[in-house]
Structure 1
């Protein structure tokens, strides 16, 4: 993943909030489409390990959206990914959770907080405040965010879910007293809420009216937000010298990589695909749900995360896919992440308690009927070499987010795995022959 020594980058803004559920994604999509309507090329980013939002960002901007994660990514990788903004007119980065929210112990370059990314890149923060249930007190909230961390600039606030002109007047009075600029006021608008499922938002490619929704968000934001003031507030562009060093990503798992890609297997980090292609690998997509086997000539197979539990019956009936995967695994490496790992196992129990036979490359049995949330950063040290992950002993940083419970994991462990606090987790992954899998999604190496 090479990049010019001094890339000229556009100015940017971090779209953040005090907490999740404030409406960041709707504002992000609306701003992206509103600026695009003005003829600006917008480069999107997502702070943190979220894998749903970048798909919506790409649909809104026409440019790939990359995750920027301070806990998992060293500075050199953050800088190289930021270089994707070359050629754009404006950067918009969407924060995760609250602006300062991260883990307690720093990782590769920070705790994973959006504020750290904004400060590193020089992007002022647009703070979205959910004004439901408050009035002048919004000024105190905004002032606290503005003063907590020296060197982090709050460009101003956008007020969301404002109930009436009287409510707006009271909010503006509180923010004027605090000396915080109001950059926009969004009335309550329930029809722009994005649909959700157990892991968060429904993915962009599954949304039947995605373009209409983004267009509506763009028109709504353009009518209620001061786009000129936002453009004027953007900063952090110009020539930037990336931090020197290796990209901190393992080599691709093969020269020709069969990549499962459909509604059941839809999540792989964009920066990983970019890295594979930059290293000269060819990516061969195929659809297990369409009962396609990995393409002939592939010398590795990667099964990404997704929602196999929603399609377990179709996967169990996909005989060509299962037979082709087993055949490939006899001579070529096959690796699965989260949903892909589940599909490589012996069986998957769906929400109704029905058992579905999976590919059987591993002995893993998982249940979505026995739901329990598994969420957080992971640091893994490989017990054996795995193409695409690294040699034995390699340390990897990643993230885990799923609700499935392991009922059986009889194979040799893939890695020793701990969370961000250093506590061991039971989801060690598995390996058998050339087949391997884990519940954590690789983000970067941990040198």
Structure 2
């Protein structure tokens, strides 16, 4: 039976990821098996979880996934001693309209699984008000149970004492207080944290975070507050159809945004994944029957991609006879050109007419429900696909046949329809699940 907790906060940027990684490593250093999960659509944090625990982490998402899929995914924690689910945004933050099993809020996962919430509070600029915020979160939704609080970025012992006293008066346990410690801050860029595989010192950074947290947080009290949990047998597995039997998958620093559960679902269905690196000027495997270009940071490597003739020519040759699909950054690379943040225009593969620009950044963020107007690899025409879009590019041209009718979480039609031409298709959203 695993000791299970959800790690959440009142808002983004409070320190959830750093605390999750630190606790995971600290418990692992005690000889415990630790399993992490990520609530919500984030492709970066699970790689950090894996670096901290040595075990693969996956996303669970109440807007896009049904209860059976979530139960199937969390069952991988059956042999763990400790399960930590890192939340996204604030505890109750989701979309206005309910999706498959919830609004995408971290609280949905906490209530669905019966895992209590360890709240990270940053009391900067506050004292007793921090207790009011914690009490409000505790009482907002009866099905969500608060285990206790860890304070982050505490200014001084006096500051800590004021906040601790107020939380004690509210009946809320305080497991520890972390003073400001810039050395364990994780580097960021415009779509979130710099990816784990790009940081050579990530192991040392997590070790330092674990040492720091173990010094200031009562780890035994944290474990005692957790729920004893054993997974129930899932009624069904993931509804994931591989796009082909042998999949050429672009995989490097420019193409790395793909949900771990998707790759696992493909393999579980018997598909073979053959990675290749466009940045190393590699072409897709000619023996593959489909090529998949996930998202990532092509805008940071646009000049190199444009110069890699072997990749571009190999992809064009592949697309003459077989399906090629791109998501977000991968979709942009399938287009005619990409203008980077400095205003330099780079020629892409030209398999689609899409042209995008980062010169004038505009954020596109949110859940997407797409009804396919034509088949895509692994999905029939008319299929309803649930995904998430997050990028800062502007569409300069999208002249090809629309791939889907796409709605946001409120039901409003959006312009980012994706497109198709011949064997090639692409979307701005990253696929999470297909409606059953």
- Going from structure 1 to structure 2, the CA distance change for 1:218 and 1:150 (only over 3 Å counts) comes to same
CA-based RMSD: 1.0
Q: Is the 2:74–2:231 contact (alpha carbons within 8 Å) kept by the matching residues of 1? A: no
Q: Which residue of 1 aligns with 2:288?
A: 298
Q: Which residue of 2 aligns with 1:335?
A: 325
Residues in 2 aligned to 1:151 and 1:397: alpha-carbon distance in whole angstroms: 26
Q: Which residue of 1 aligns with 2:393?
A: 404
2:119 is aligned, of 127, 131, 145, to 127
TM-score under structure 2 length normalisation: 0.98
Q: Is the 2:72–2:236 contact (alpha carbons within 8 Å) kept by the matching residues of 1? A: no
Residues in 2 aligned to 1:221 and 1:245: alpha-carbon distance in whole angstroms: 38
Residues in 2 aligned to 1:32 and 1:74: alpha-carbon distance in whole angstroms: 27
Task: Compute the displacement of 1:247 (Å).
Answer: 2.8
2:239 is aligned, of 241, 244, 248, to 248
Residues in 2 aligned to 1:186 and 1:416: alpha-carbon distance in whole angstroms: 48
Matches within 5 A, 1:45-194: 45-194=37-186
Secondary structure of the residue aligned to 1:86 is helix
Q: Which residue of 2 aligns with 1:36?
A: 28
Q: Is the 1:397–1:444 contact (alpha carbons within 8 Å) kept by the matching residues of 2? A: yes
2:199 equivalent to 1:201: no
Task: Compute the displacement of 1:245 (Å).
Answer: 4.2
Secondary structure of the residue aligned to 1:185 is strand
Residues in 2 aligned to 1:278 and 1:161: alpha-carbon distance in whole angstroms: 43
2:285 equivalent to 1:286: no
Secondary structure of the residue aligned to 1:266 is coil
Task: Compute the displacement of 1:296 (Å).
Answer: 2.8
Q: Which residue of 2 aligns with 1:354?
A: 344
Q: Which residue of 2 aligns with 1:221?
A: 213
Q: Is the 1:129–1:160 contact (alpha carbons within 8 Å) kept by the matching residues of 2? A: yes
Task: Compute the displacement of 1:11 (Å).
Answer: 3.0
Q: Which residue of 2 aligns with 1:5?
A: none
Aligned length: 436
Q: Which residue of 1 aligns with 2:430?
A: 441
Q: Which runs of 5+ in 1 are unaligned?
A: 1-8
Instruction: Write out per-residue CA displacement over residues 51-86 of structure 1, whole angstroms, 9 at most, x where no aligned residue.
Output: 111111111111111111100111111111111212
Instruction: Write out per-residue CA displacement over residues 399-442 of structure 1, whole angstroms, 9 at most, x where no aligned residue.
Output: 00000011011110110001000011110001111110000000
Task: Compute the displacement of 1:178 (Å).
Answer: 0.2
Q: Which residue of 1 aligns with 2:419?
A: 430
Residues in 2 aligned to 1:60 and 1:348: alpha-carbon distance in whole angstroms: 35
Residues in 2 aligned to 1:146 and 1:386: alpha-carbon distance in whole angstroms: 44
Q: Is the 2:78–2:230 contact (alpha carbons within 8 Å) kept by the matching residues of 1? A: no
